Amino acid sequence: MMTSLLRSVYGAALAAMLASVPGQAMAQSAPLKLTLDQGVVEPLPVSVLDFFSNNGAPDQRGAEIASVIEADLASTGLFRTVPDAAVAPLAPSFISPPRFSDVRAVSNAVALVTGETVIDAGGRMTLKFRLWDVISQQQLAGFQYTADPGAWRRMAHRAADAIYERLTGEPGYFETRVVFVDETGPKNARVKRLAVMDYDGQNVEYLTGGSSLVLTPRYSPRSQQVTYITYRDGLPRVYLLDVETRRQEILGRFPGMTFAPRFSPDGSKVVMSLAKGGTTDIYEMDLASRQVRALTTGASINTAPSYSPDGRQIVFESDRGGAQQLYVMDANGGTPRRISFGDGRYASPVWSPRGDLIAFTKISNGAFSIGVMAPDGSAERILTSSFLDDSPTWAPNGRRLMFYRETAGASGQPAIYTIDVRGGAEQRVQTPGAASDPAWGPLMR
Amino acid sequence: MRLSALRFIMIATVASVAIAGCSKKQPVGVDSNTAARDLGGFGPGGRVGGAPGGFGAGAGAGGNAGAGAVGQFTRDAAGNLVDANGRRVDEFGNPITGAPLGQLAGQGGGGVYAGPGSAGTLQQGGGVYAPGGVVDGGVYQPGGVVDGGVYQPGGGGVFLDGNGNFVDANGNPVDANGNPISGATYQQGGTFVQGGPYAQGNGGTFATGPQAQSYNFAGDDGSPNYFAQRVGDRVLFATDSSNLDAQSQETLRRQAAWFNLHPQYSITVEGHADERGTRDYNLALGARRANAVRGYLSSLGIDPNRIRTVSYGKERPVNPASTPNGWAVNRRAVSTLSGGNGASF
């Protein structure tokens, strides 16, 4: 029948993506579903039709919402958007299902999204959408969200998250923000400002004015708090900043410079480095009590700590063995063991929120790469390479990495990119200007 | 299919949702809403106490013996330190160059020295520190300067002139044993003998350290600009290294000599890295480099409390080129001055 015929068109690709067991996969009732544990396969074709407005016809905002959802889905590399001009007339209303048989005749989309927005008397906007499985002719999901119309992008991201979750079985990461460092000016007199943006580069807000050098912001995994370093006191110190209230405070009064901060998974602690007498060690601060304890000691450089998602271990980099390598220790500082043994130097480790991987920067043969390895150091995979890639940061679902890439030369500039953790689907995030040091925040709900 | 058959799931009507995130907030930047914070432990307090020209309080109980005279130095038209009688002196009040060194023997400590080993011969590193002066590997007699040489109270000794050459008490060139060197010319200069390590706080013993040398800071106006341009405010490093090579050590000896001349300044050593490293590591590497400079300067007698360190990692290149030559000058530690007249930080 038609369904099985179409499925066979996608053949192995779809079969691999479908969660259903073989044999069941071809049944009409099988839900459309990807599984992310497979290698990269043929992206699933989807169409997101322009959203209808109050008067029953698509408006510009409705087209923009569709574009945001399409961009979210396509940016994952798991989906590809297909032209929907021929499909739109086949779904003339949000309140009735599309004419699926006709859709299949003019489009190879296997998933279709329709939606509408309604502005109520109070001026608030409700965004509604439905996700359709074109093959089974079933509605896979339908949700609505209400908010200030100015939040339309956020509602669109939330819809895309729901679509992603329905099709992959895992939470999305589109309704998230990223804190980063905006850079202007020449390379030898760079002005750096702390800024926050939607994960896709939109809605940029600047958090600092640029009079003080700021570096390495990190998002709390649990709140809209950010920790970062600023030179406002003349030397680098770790600060805490609330993105919503903009309130901020210094973390600790250490005798030397503090840097490389990062939150614990529950947001209750910050680990950071303190440089004193030429050595750099890792300290943990409890945010409630402000108690501090040293987790490493010795004459070497120990920095860039990052907790495992269960909070029981910390991966960090150290040159205690002679050059930068990655080590894992217990969260109380015990039993450090080296995990990186490849050629070159390893730095900037970040533990995945899923716990299965550690992302890092590798410096080898004059190039900087972003890679991942298992927490025991096995199964290293290099995902990128360039003149300078650094500061990997995980999407909240652990399926995508963001990092910055700086080009060489006197006019070199940094830009922010994302890449699938399995490799491929690399995308540049369109920031207003040069940007570095991204840190991915939690889902905003 | 009828509408009623649609499984329209109504979920999450997010009315007041955090979509409040879209409401306009007053962007209160970090740079405007927080008062300056007390750093504690830093600031211009790094200035060493005591009268200008002396080691001051840091040298301990014995260190202030010469302070009275030291405080009276002025500079002549050529910028040289002179005492109340117009005689050229070093920053410790010790007459230098053409002054008859022998006459100083009687000032202070009695002028009689019996060194370890044979009489009158000093051994490197075995000397004694006495108030108000500097020695390196030798013995200090108040009012005089020696450097690993032989001191004979009242004349006949071997001294170092401002250029590091052995001279006798009258300023004539001699070899290390005090024998005249024929044909050599003694050059006068606005020089001083720069101190080696001294032991803080006890005014007595000192440890061995870098070889003391002397420098001629011609035209020194004591300005930060002079320091940066003529003394040399920076040292460079190899990739991923904080080792001070011979050239860097020489630069730092010049710096230490100049800092001794201008004790009104406190020093901030800025450590930098090139762009070929990760951000966090480069901050740590810059700290390590700055600390290496601080340690070497303090081994040369500069009070470590006078020196603070800061790392800029790779954030402040002087050469933006992504070339080995560019990176070479960016891997640096720069000594900057604060305090003093009109100096800014």
**At A376, which helix (H) or strand (E)?**
none
Confidence (pLDDT) at A440: 98
pLDDT at B291: 97
Q: What's the mean per-residue pLDDT of chain A?
A: 90
How are beta strands A434-443 and A176-184 bridged, if at all?
antiparallel
* Distance between A31 CA and the closest CA of chain B, angstroms: 14
The SS3 assignment for B330 reads: helix
| Residues on chain A touching B317 (C-beta within 8 angstroms) | 187-188
Is A253 within 8 Å of B42 when comparing Cβ atoms?
Answer: no
A409 and B32: CB-CB below 8 Å? no
Are the Cβ atoms of A248 and B34 closer than 8 angstroms?
yes
**Residue A262, min C-alpha distance to chain B (Å):** 12
Of B17, B21, B311, the CB nearest to A257: B311
pLDDT of residue B17: 31
Residues contacting B97, CB < 8 A, separation 6+: B88, B161, B162, B171, B188, B189, B191
pLDDT at residue number A420: 93
Q: How confident is the model at residue A416 (pLDDT cuts 50, 70, 90)?
A: very high
Over the stretch B10-46, which tens digit does the pLDDT of each residue have? 333 222 233 333 333 322 222 222 222 221 222 222 2
Is A347 in contact with B39 (Cβ distance < 8 A)?
Answer: no
Dig out the tokens for A219 from the structure: 């998002």
Residue from A143, A194, A325 whose CB has the most chain B CBs within 10 Å, to mutate: A143
**A215, A248, A278 ranked by CB distance to B288: nearest:** A278
The nearest CA of chain A is from the CA of B11 a distance in Å of 6
Q: Which of A303, A387, A444 sits opposite B18 (nearest CB)?
A: A444
Higher pLDDT, A323 or A20: A323
| Complex ipTM > 0.85 | yes
Per-residue pLDDT tens digits for A221-280: 999 999 999 999 889 999 999 999 999 999 988 888 999 999 999 999 999 999 998 899
Angle between helices A60-75 and A152-168 (to 10 degrees): 40
**CB-CB contact of B93 with B193 (8 Å):** no
A278 to B21: CB separation less than 8 angstroms, yes or no: no
- Name the residue of chain A whose CA is nearest to B27's CA: A207
Answer left, alpha or beta for residue A255, where phi above 0 means left and psi between -120 and 50 means alpha. Answer: alpha
Q: Give the pLDDT band of residue B85 (cuts 50, 70, 90).
A: low
Residues B172, B175, B181, B185, Cα dihedral to 10°: -50
What would the pLDDT profile of A294-341 be if each residue is shown by its tens digit? Answer: 999 988 999 999 999 999 999 999 999 999 999 999 999 999 999 999
Tell me the C-alpha distance between A179 and A437, whole Å: 8
- How many CB atoms within 10 Å of residue A123? 8
pLDDT digits (tens, 9 = 90+) for A333-388: 999 999 999 999 999 999 999 999 999 999 999 999 999 999 999 999 999 999 99
Interface A:B, Cβ pairs < 8 A: 215
Which neighbouring-strand residues pair with B310?
Answer: B270
Is A148–B15 a contact, with Cβ atoms under 8 angstroms apart? no
How confident is residue B135, by pLDDT bands cut at 50, 70 and 90? very low
pLDDT at B79: 56
Q: Give the start-end residues of each E strand in chain B.
A: 74-75, 81-82, 159-160, 166-167, 191-193, 214-216, 234-236, 265-272, 307-313, 332-339
> Which chain A residues are Cβ-neighbours of B30 within 8 angstroms?
194, 207-209, 212, 214, 230, 232, 239, 241, 248
B309 phi and psi, to 5 degrees?
Answer: -125, 150
The pair of three-digit structure tokens given for residue A382, joined into one six-digit string: 């290099």
CA distance B267 to B46: 8
- Kindly list the residues from chain A whose CB atom is less than 8 angstroms away from the CB atom of residue B243: none
Chain B nearest CA to A145, separation (Å): 5
The verdict on a CB contact (< 8 Å) between A361 and B280 is: no
Interface mutation target, options A219, A324, A364, A437, chain B, most CBs of B under 10 Å: A324
Say if the Cβ atoms of A216 and B279 lie within 8 Å.
Answer: yes
Residue of A nearest to B287 (CA): A278
The enclosing H or E element of A382 equals strand A381-382
Range A135-150 average pLDDT: 93
CB B156 within 8 A of CB B225: no
**pLDDT for res A55:** 80
For A277-324, where are the E strands, in sequence order?
279-286, 292-294, 302-307, 313-318
Task: Name the pairing type of β-strands B265-272 and B307-313.
Answer: parallel
Nearest to A143 among B9, B30, B31 (CB): B9
The pair of structure tokens assigned to A29 is: 């009732």
How many Å lie between the alpha carbon of B189 and the closest alpha carbon of chain A? 38
Question: Residue B19: which of A96, A148, A368 has the nearest Cβ?
Answer: A148
Pairwise CB contact (< 8 Å): B281 & A151 = no
Who contacts B281 (Cβ-Cβ below 8 Å, separation ≥6)? A301, A303, A304, A317, A319, A324, A347
Among residues A145, A29, A76, A399, the alpha carbon closest in space to that of B17 is found at: A145
Residue pair B306/B241 in contact by the 8 Å Cβ criterion: no
Q: Point out the residue among A151, A194, A304 whose CB comes nearest to the CB of B30.
A: A194
Q: Are strands A269-276 and A257-263 parallel, antiparallel or unpaired?
A: antiparallel
pLDDT of residue A277: 87
Q: What is the DSSP letter of B89?
A: B
What's the CA gap between B136 and B114, in Å, rounded? Answer: 17
End-to-end CA distance of chain B, in Å? 77
pLDDT at B3: 32
With beta carbons less than 8 A apart as the criterion, state whether A342 and A372 touch: no
Q: CB under 8 Å to A70, separation ≥6 — which residues?
A: A46, A48, A81
Write down the mean pLDDT value for chain B: 58
| pLDDT value for B263 | 93
Task: Convert the pLDDT of each residue in B138-186 to its tens digit.
Answer: 333 333 333 333 333 333 444 444 444 555 555 666 554 455 654 433 3
User: Is A280's CB within 8 Å of B313's CB?
Assistant: no
Of A205, A411, A437, the CB nearest to B279: A437
Determine, for residues B19 and A236 on separate chains, whether the beta-carbon distance falls below 8 Å.
Answer: no
Average pLDDT over residues B211-227: 84
**What share of chain B has pLDDT > 70, as a percent?**
37
* Better pLDDT: A3 or B83: B83
Question: Across the interface, do B287 and A278 touch by the CB < 8 Å criterion?
Answer: yes
Sorted by where each starts, the structural domains of chain B and their CATH numbers stand as 46-216 (no CATH), 222-339 (3.30.1330.60)
For residue B166, what are the β-bridge partners? B160
pLDDT tens digits, B259-305: 999 999 999 999 999 999 999 999 999 999 999 999 999 999 999 99
- Asked whether the beta carbons of residue A250 and residue B3 sit closer than 8 angstroms, the reply is no
Neighbours of B181 (CB within 10 A): 15
Mutate which: A208, A222, A226, vs B, most B CBs within 10 A: A208
Secondary structure percentages of chain A, helix, strand, coil, to 5: 15, 40, 45
Kindly report the nearest CA distance between residue A12 and chain B, in angstroms. 30
Tell me if B30 and A241 make a contact (CB, 8 A cut-off).
yes
Mean pLDDT of A15-28: 36
A214-219/B159-160 β-pairing: unpaired
pLDDT of residue B100: 29
Distance from CA of B148 to the nearest CA of A (A): 31
Between chains, do B280 and A139 touch, taking CB under 8 Å as contact? no
Query: Nearest C-alpha of chain A: how many angstroms from B252?
Result: 18
What average pLDDT does the segment A173-194 reach?
Answer: 96
Q: Which of B8, B14, B239 to mutate to test the interface with A (most CBs of A within 10 A)?
A: B14
Rounded CA gap, A359 and A379, in Å? 12
Strand ranges for A199-247 from DSSP E: 205-206, 214-219, 225-230, 237-242
Of B22, B31, B39, the CB nearest to A154: B22
Contact residues for B200 (Cβ-Cβ < 8 A; gap 6+): B58, B59, B60, B303
pTM to 2 decimal places = 0.71
Radius of gyration of chain A (CA): 24
**Which has the closest alpha carbon to B30: A225, A209, A437, A244?**
A209
B280, A260 Cβ separation under 8 angstroms: yes
Top residue of A117, A360, A388 to mutate, by most chain B CBs within 10 Å, is A388
Is the predicted pLDDT of residue A7 greater than 70, yes or no? no
| Chain centre distance of CA A270 | 21
Share of chain A above pLDDT 70, in %: 91
Q: Are A340 and A321 spatial neighbours (Cβ–Cβ below 8 Å)?
A: no
Residue A116 has pLDDT above 60, yes or no: yes
Mean per-residue pLDDT for A38-64?
Answer: 87
| Mean pLDDT to the nearest integer, A17-26 | 35
Q: Which residues of A are less than 8 Å from B293 in CB distance?
A: none
Chain B neighbors of A255, CB-CB under 8 A:
41
**B19:A147 CB<8 A:** yes
All domains of chain A in start order, with CATH:
2-168 (3.40.50.10070), 176-443 (2.120.10.30)
Using CA coordinates, name the residue in chain B closest to A318: B281
Confidence (pLDDT) at A219? 96
Retrieve residue B251's tokens. Answer: 């630069």
pLDDT at B169: 55
Higher-confidence residue: A55 or A212? A212
